[in-house]
């Protein structure tokens, strides 16, 4: 069974993105290997950002088995992310 993937689309110049980073790090510690977390700098990875239609940073995309399950724009708290990811694990 594949793990869900959490894409964190961010930009280095983005203030809210800097607020999102410690939330993602906390989530990574809590959920460990059950979730794959990929940080994506939209200025470096424009093609990938385009593929997912990213217009706002931060944007979090949750994918399972290659399909987008959830897309969240703006800063999202760890409890919300955990609630969305837990059913997708295992």
Catalytic residues: 14, 17
Residues paired with 9 in a beta bridge = 40, 59
78 vs 6: CA distance, rounded Å: 12
Question: First-to-last CA distance in the chain?
Answer: 7
Integer-rounded Cα Rg, in Å, for the chain is 12
């Amino acid at each position: 069974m594949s793990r869900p993937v959490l894409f964190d689309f961010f930009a280095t110049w983005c203030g809210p993105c800097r607020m999102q980073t410690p939330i993602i790090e906390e989530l990574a510690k809590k959920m460990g290997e059950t979730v794959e977390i990929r940080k994506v700098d939209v200025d470096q990875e424009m093609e990938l950002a385009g593929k997912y239609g990213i217009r706002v940073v931060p944007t979090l995309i949750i994918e399972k088995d290659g399909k987008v399950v959830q897309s969240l724009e703006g800063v999202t708290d760890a409890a919300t992310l955990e609630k969305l990811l837990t059913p997708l694990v295992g």
